Amino acid sequence: MFARHASSSRLAWHRSIALLLAFSFFLPAARADEAGAEAGKAESPYFFIDSNDPSVDRLPLLETRVDVKIAGVIADVTVTQRYKNAGQRPLEARYVFPGSTRAAVYAMNVRLGDRLLTAKIREKEQARVEYQTAKNEGKTAALLEQHRPNVFQMNVANILPGDDVRVEMHYTELLLPQDGKYQFVFPTVVGPRYAGSAEKTGALEKWTAAPYLQEGQEAPSAFDLKLKLASPIAVKEVWSSSHRIDVKQGVDKRMEIALADARNANNRDFILDYRLNGDAIESGLMLFKGQEENFFLAMLAPPKAVPLQKITPREYIFVMDISGSMHGYPLDTSKALLRKLIGSLRSSDSFNVLLFAGDNSVLAPQSLPATKANIERAIAVIDRQSGGGGTELMPALRRALAMKLDNDRSRSIVVVTDGYVDVEKEAFSLIRRNLDHANLFAFGIGSSVNRHLIEGMARAGQGEPFIVTNDQDAAQEAERLRRMIDSPVLTHIKASFEGVDVYDMEPPALADVMAQRPVVVFGKYRGEPRGKMVLTGHSAEGVYRQSLDFSPAKQSQDNSALRYLWARHRIATLTDQKNLEGADSYAEEITKLGLNYSLLTDYTSFLAVDERIRNTAGDSESVDQPSPLPQGVSNLAVGGAVPATPEPATWAMLLVGGLCFLFWWRREKDAVRILE
């Protein structure tokens, strides 16, 4: 009996061990399947691996130099990219790089030794054909394309060994004051884009498959930026929250600003802030008389904010990105921001929190009163997040917009993300189709935010974009949102014109003013400048009215940038309509504007070709210039990531395995008892 007992015990032990080994083999495989599925969603960006072939220069971008001139509220920027082939074979260099979301790119030149090639604007597909033809013929050529309003790609073909090629891009943009502060931003790196379902459907755009250096690895190319600031009003203070700068005070209200340390300066946005004496936003009018068309820019200061006692109860839906690219510093900054936002809610408010990565979840089925207990519960849930997985923004937005409305409250949706996704058009269209549900405010978190997504979502949702680059900004921007939502200063705004023939106004309709930010109107006028523009609306004190006079004294050839800025704003309006309606006519009109005003758009590109045949061999090596990872972004942003906590399927397998083991253990124990 004892022998049978011992044999049965050994048999039970062996079976248990075998089952555990089998399960331990099955579980990692299942986890690997999960990881593979998750990684597959974000495998577009990849890490750069240098070649062992000494004949090919894999890093042809030698330096980027940025020269900025700010006159009043208009910035004119020249970006010079210098490419040098230090290898032994002809190259085609491809480089994806960022730009300002407000940029009107109006010119490109190529300097090849002592030769200057002036680029021409072309319809996008035509430019590609002409570029490929020039490349195949052995001619040096440069092609500048726009993939997003803030993402460009430069292709330079037939860079021969020893060649030193300089490509100059020129753009202009409007700087709008806010709370008495002006800000100029120059993005230096495009963050890696999560493609999500685009890869499965084949809709993935090629530019997203860009190479990146490892986290913390310094870019091999040099970067430098110089800025000249000329203001009609003396500058009160100037500072940068992103870089150390040297400031030299010039004469006649001029300043010269440069980077104090250019090392590793191109892994985050360059941000320059400045205030003018008095801090007040001044109304003004700028006019430009062209050969065929005349343009104007009107800037009108808003009235003061409404008193606190007139604030109505509000509902807030906080949509928080907890994906892999947010791991570390971006997520820590998001937590600080949401602690401030949620912690400062009024007792009359209600709120909810939606967390999203590859999946999404909500704090509660419906919004909760902003009690101390509910606020503490929400903050505790947020503090537990560590970041991991994909960035499925669209399902999260759909869920937030579908939440049941409280008709007694005004709803605001607050999205917090780095914006490293490839679904901008889909997001803008979804938000615009649901304007009757809520207005939307977008917070971009990180050192190199996808500003196109952040600003576009806010524009589509008739809200406001916020950019938080560090922990110190979080509290300040949270307070700015609170003041803005609580204090709409001007509603039902209308612009009219008396005694002047105005047409093609941008924007076609004016949104409510929610902060100390001016009302800006672009347009064209016929004939001599006379008459006035009148702005009316409703403020806390009643009917609001302000006017600006058109006069020849305000007309200047120095205002030539107005034609580009007007066209850039018209293109943005048409792009919004195209994303919403999908009509081909908008694409045709955008193309026509790009060609007529010599502007880079989704449908027009700049092309420069040297007519000399330089590469007689005909063959060349194509190389993709790598970018550094944005400061504070981890390697998890490239190639996908497995969530930090087990997925539900993993928990289910653990439970099944445990139950199987328990079943076998009980069965063997009963068998031994019978034998005894």
Per-residue pLDDT at 36: 42
For 658, other C-beta atoms within 10 Å of its C-beta total 11
DSSP string, 171-187: EEEE---BTTEEEEEE-
Please give the pLDDT value at position 483.
74
Phi/psi class of residue 318: alpha, beta or left (left: φ > 0; alpha: ψ in -120 to 50)? beta
Q: What is the pLDDT of residue 194?
A: 76
What's the pLDDT tens digit per position in 71-91? 988 999 999 999 999 999 999
Over the stretch 456-469, which tens digit does the pLDDT of each residue have?
Answer: 898 888 788 999 98
Q: What is the mean pLDDT of residues 38-56?
A: 68
Please give the structure tokens belonging to residue 445.
């978190």
What whole-number percentage of the chain has pLDDT above 70? Answer: 83
pLDDT band of 281, cuts 50, 70, 90: low
Dist CA 554 CA 577 (whole Å): 33
Range from 110-114, 196-200, 284-288, 518-522 carrying the lowest mean pLDDT:
196-200
Q: Report d(CA 274, CA 581) in Å as an integer.
A: 40
Rounded Cα–Cα distance for residues 467 and 473 (Å): 8
Residue 108 to residue 144: CA distance in whole angstroms: 8
| Rounded Cα distance, 608 and 129, in Å | 13
Which DSSP string corresponds to 90-102? -EEEEEEEE--TT
User: Which H or E element spans position 651?
Assistant: helix 648-675
Confidence of residue 487 (pLDDT cuts 50, 70, 90): low
pLDDT band at 662 (very low <50, low <70, confident <90, very high): low
Distance between CA 662 and CA 20 in Å, rounded? Answer: 11
> Could you tell me the two tokens for 255?
């300043």
Distance of CA 251 to the CA centre of its chain: 37
Statement: residue 480 has pLDDT above 90? no
In angstroms, the CA 8 to CA 14 distance is 10
* Percentage of the residues of the chain whose pLDDT score is greater than 90: 50
Confidence of residue 435 (pLDDT cuts 50, 70, 90): confident
Under DSSP, the state recorded for 281 is: P
Q: Give residue 267's pLDDT band: very low, low, confident or very high (50, 70, 90).
A: very high
pTM higher than the cut 0.85: no
Residue 451 CA to chain centroid, in angstroms?
A: 3
Q: CA angle at residue 560 from 554 to 564, to 5 degrees?
A: 125
Q: What are phi and psi of 30, to 5 degrees?
A: -65, -40
> Rounded to a whole number, what is the distance in angstroms from the first to the last CA of the chain?
7
Q: pLDDT of 168-210, one tens digit each?
A: 999 999 998 887 789 999 999 998 887 665 554 445 578 888 8
Q: pLDDT tens for residues 205-259?
A: 788 888 999 998 999 999 999 999 988 788 889 999 999 999 998 776 789 999 9
Q: Let me know: does 226 contact 256? Beta carbons within 8 Å.
A: yes
List, for residues 384-411, the tens digit of each pLDDT value: 998 888 889 999 999 999 998 887 777 8
User: For residue 336, is pLDDT > 80?
Assistant: yes
Helix (H/G/I), strand (E/B), else coil: 221: coil
pLDDT for 655 equals 53
The one-letter code for the residue type at 664 is W
Whether the pLDDT of residue 642 is over 60: the answer is no
Q: 288-325: per-residue pLDDT in tens?
A: 999 999 999 998 887 766 565 556 678 899 999 999 98
Amino acid at 45: P
Residue 8 pLDDT > 70? no
**Residue 19 reports pLDDT greater than 70:** no
Peptide linkage before 507 cis (omega within 30 of 0)? yes
Contact by Cβ (8 Å): 73, 166: no
pLDDT value at residue 617: 84
| φ/ψ of residue 329, rounded to 5 | -55, -45
Q: How crowded is residue 586: how many other Cβ atoms within 10 Å of its Cβ?
A: 19
Q: Looking at 149-302, which runs of residues are DSSP E strands? A: 151-159, 164-174, 181-186, 211-212, 222-230, 235-239, 245-249, 254-259, 270-276, 284-289, 294-300
Burial pattern 391-401, b for ≥16 Cβ within 10 A else e, equals: bbbbebbebbb
State the pLDDT at residue 204: 58
Tokens of 56: 């090919």
Query: Token pair of 128, please?
Result: 């590609």
C-alpha closest to that of 187 among 448, 518, 425, 519: 448
Structure tokens at 432: 């615009």
Please give the C-alpha separations between residue 563 and each of 108, 188, 511, 548, in angstroms, as whole numbers: 17, 26, 23, 20
- Give yes or no for a contact between 263 and 283, defined as CB atoms under 8 angstroms apart: no
For 388, other C-beta atoms within 10 Å of its C-beta total 23
pLDDT tens, residue by residue, 585-614: 889 999 999 999 999 999 999 999 999 999
The widest CA-to-CA distance across the chain, in whole angstroms, is 116
On whether the CB atoms of residues 90 and 184 are closer than 8 A, the answer is no
pLDDT tops 90 at residue 562: yes
